[in-house]
Amino acid sequence: MCHLVYHPTTASALLPKLPVINGFLEADLQQYIEMFFHMRSIRRLCLENILPPWLLQSRTLSGAEAVNALRPFYFAVHPDFFGQHPREREINENSLKRLSAYLENLQKPGWKTLKPTQLTFYVRETEQTTLEGPELLNSLGFRAVTFTLHSRDLLNTVLDILNSCNLSTEHIQSMNTNVTSQAPKGAKRTFDRPIKWDKTYYSFTGFRDPEEELEKVQKMETSLISWLDNNEKSAIKKLTDSLPLRGELDRLKEELSHQLLLSDIRWQRSWGVAHRCSQLHSLGRLAQQNLEVLQNIKGCTIIFTDRSGMSALGHVMLGTMDVHHHWTKLFERLPSYFDLRRRLVLLEEQISQLLGGLQVVYLEELQPAMTIEEYYAVLDCFHGRLLQSRVPFHPRSLRGLRMILDSDRYTPSLHELGHFNVPILCDPVSLQWFLFTKAAQARDNMKKKEELKTIENDLIDASVEKFSLQKLYKEPSISSAQMIDCCKRLLQQSLPSLQGMHLCVSHFYAVMQDGDLCIPWNWKS
């Protein structure tokens, strides 16, 4: 590709002859220096006089056009589509806020530098999503994508976002085509190429070379040690401030579990410690006011989440936006929920018998959050299709293997953890053949899973001991293999800043509101 090259010495030939001392202009040197420091506006003015308007317009992208160009991206990551996946929803919400701020700053006049911003999104499978990238969709139909924004203009930023998420950019090309198509018929396209300024222009004027800046950003990756050094003080302060509340949280949880004879108290979302304490205080007040209605939850696990009801696993869900009246009604209906739970377990056993002993399970960390009514309807639909097909399975031929039901796909698959992903609407005959041909591999995967889990636990214990961590845990989306790789490399480092910290292995760097440190599993040294 050809480029227009501007050289300061070429421009100097057009300047008037002035006295020179030791090779430098004497009288007007300062004037010309100031002139070059305003070269950006002069360059724009010159281009407007030289180039036709339609060509200049094709170089830029307005804020409204950027939003329109990012529609496929917003559709693939919008939090509303992750209602059944609270953690992924929360990550996308936070990343969208940071992206919005970045795009706004990019459009502000007079901005000079913009720090590279690393973002992580969970991207849904859509019609415009291609699978040519390195990220693979998980069993839920979405994948984690991390990219760094560093472009100096809207157009390249939009292209970077779409390309990082393997989304089509054809509609952006058509937008440019629509603009350029407005050119006059007789207009020549000689200058329809980027303008490249000579390196001496940047050394003379003091402006930053965008190509060099881009190369630096591309080479620059946040290292674990540098990130810890920059965020250690902030994390320690937040952690110290949260310690009294953490103690109160443990106390409230233990007291309520003992008073109500609960198996466990958990949270579906990563709420802060203060928020969790508030929720336990609310439950405690209800217990003081109406302890009798809470007798039904003896032996149950309570989960604070976005809606009230019973989960697919039989846990009691308390919606954090609901008032005591709604909770009370739920506790009163628990006997009917328990009855539905017994019927659900029986239905799972019937499906297992029809599939040669293949166990039907619900994996909370891999499947969408479902109420017991929703999960029962899924099981009942699948059971009905099996009864209609009457496909024979040898009794106990698949005993010891597991499967989960998937409502978003049409072909069965084998997960790396050893369980089968079985679509509700798949053809039973095709399913029979798939299960038989993949049974041996499934058993190998399950064995490998157990081996990896043992190694993972050993490495977690070793890391906690070496770095004197208060806690080391991972996000549900982090596999055992990824956690093993992360811990092995951590153990090779000397990281005194981790002493006494809470460390979460995730897909991104972050200091949480209560001082927990999040680091990507594939961190760079």
pLDDT digits (tens, 9 = 90+) for 396-424: 889 999 999 987 667 899 998 899 999 99
Per-residue pLDDT, 201: 62
**103 and 121 co-located in one domain:** yes
Q: What percent of the chain shows pLDDT beyond 90? A: 42
Per the CB < 8 A criterion, the answer to whether 245 and 253 are in contact is no
Q: Which residues, at least 6 apart from 131, have a Cβ–Cβ distance to it below 8 Å?
A: 137, 166
Per the CB < 8 A criterion, the answer to whether 180 and 122 are in contact is no
pLDDT digits (tens, 9 = 90+) for 64-95: 788 888 888 888 888 877 766 777 877 888 88
Per-residue pLDDT, 179: 43
**277 and 357 co-located in one domain:** yes
- Whether residue 515 is predicted with pLDDT greater than 60 in this model: the reply is yes
Spatial distance between the Cα atoms of 81 and 141, rounded to a whole number of angstroms: 12
**346 and 365 co-located in one domain:** yes
- DSSP summary character for residue 62: -
User: Is 207 among the domain residues?
Assistant: no
Most confident of 57-66, 224-233, 387-396, 456-465: 456-465
User: Is 111 among the domain residues?
Assistant: yes
Domain coverage including residue 80: 61-125+140-171
Average pLDDT of the chain is: 79
End-of-domain residue from the set 447, 478, 500 = 447
**389 and 506 co-located in one domain:** no
Average confidence (pLDDT) over 372-385:
94
**260 and 286 co-located in one domain:** yes
How many domains does the chain fold into? 3
DSSP string, 124-162: E--TTB-S-SS----TTSEEEEEEEE--SSHHHHHHHHH
pLDDT digits (tens, 9 = 90+) for 111-127: 545 677 778 888 887 65
User: Is 47 among the domain residues?
Assistant: no
Per-residue pLDDT, 120: 86
**363 and 379 co-located in one domain:** yes
